[in-house]
Amino acid sequence: MRPALIVAQRELASYFATPVAYVFIVIFLILSGALTFTLGNFFARGQADLIPFFSFVPWLFLFLVPAITMRLWAEERRLGTIELLLTLPLAQWQAVLGKFLAAWAFCAIALALTFPLWITVNILGEPDNGVILAGYAGCLLVAGAYLAVGAAVSALTRNQVIAFVLAVAICFVFAAAGSPIVTEFLSARLPALAEAARALSVAERFSGFTRGVVALRDLVFFASFMGFFLFLNAVVLDHRKAD
C-alpha cells in the first residue's frame, strides 16, 4: 500500500504544479455557486439546506471529472513514460490505485472548498448538518465512480480529447440511466431492463445520500463500481504492457 500512496502523493503534487488544477477548482466553485443560487432557486425555496447544490453536482462532475482523468494515462502514453512507470518496483495495481487516489483527493479538495455554502445555510437557518454531511459523502462517491471510469478510458488511448469524450459519454450513460425519461421508455417495452438501468444509475444511488440516507446497498454499489473500473484499468495496462 505504501508504494500506492507514494504514487498518489507524486500525482497530487503534479496537479498543483500547473495552472490546470487551479482553473478546474475555480470553474467548479463558480459553476456550483451560480447554479445553486440561480437555477437551484436557493433563496426562493425558503429552506436552509443544500439540496439545490447537491442536485447539480453529479452533472457538474460529468464534465469536470473527465477533464481530470483524461491525462492520467493518456499523457503517460503520449510522452512514453508509461513504460518507465510500469517497470518501477511496484505492482501494477499500486500504480493504478495511486493515480486514482490522487485524483480522488483532488476532487475532495474541490468539494471542501465549497464550505461557504455550508456556512451560508447555517447562518440563514438551522439545517440538518448530518444530512448535509451525507450529501457531501455521496458527492465524493460520485466523483470516485466517474474517476474510475475516466481512468480506465484514459488507459485506452494516448489522445486526451478522445479520452475526455469517451469518459463523458460513459459517465452520462450511468448518470442518466435512472432518469424518468429513460425508465419510462424502458418500462413500456422492457420492464426488466428498466429496473436494471435504475439499479446501475449513479444519480439514482446518489439521491439517497442527499436525503441523509446512507444505505449499505448504495455503499456496496459505489465500491463495486469503482473496483470494477479500476480492475479494468489494470487489465488494459497489462494488455498494453504485453504489447
Q: What is the pLDDT of residues 64-107, one digit of tens each?
A: 899 888 877 666 666 555 655 666 667 777 888 888 999 999 99
3 state DSSP class of 17: coil
Q: What is the DSSP string of 198-232?
A: HHT-HHHHHHHHHTT---HHHHHHHHHHHHHHHHH
Q: Is the pTM of this model over 0.85?
A: yes
Q: Read off the pLDDT of each residue in 100-119 and give the average, rounded to a whole number.
A: 93
Question: Quick one: CA dihedral 208, 214, 220, 223, positive or negative?
Answer: positive
Which of 49-58, 171-180, 194-203: highest mean pLDDT?
Answer: 49-58
Q: Using alpha carbons, select from 85, 103, 80 the residue that is nearest to residue 95.
A: 85
Taking the C-alpha atoms of residue 79 and residue 93, their distance in angstroms, rounded to an integer, is 21
Q: What is the pLDDT of residues 13-43, one digit of tens each?
A: 888 887 888 888 999 999 998 888 888 777 7
| Reported confidence tier of residue 131, pLDDT bands at 50, 70, 90 | very high
Domain residues for 72? 2-242
**Residue whose C-alpha cell reads 465549497 in the numeric block:** 114
> How many structural domains is the chain composed of?
1
Taking the C-alpha atoms of residue 156 and residue 37, their distance in angstroms, rounded to an integer, is 39
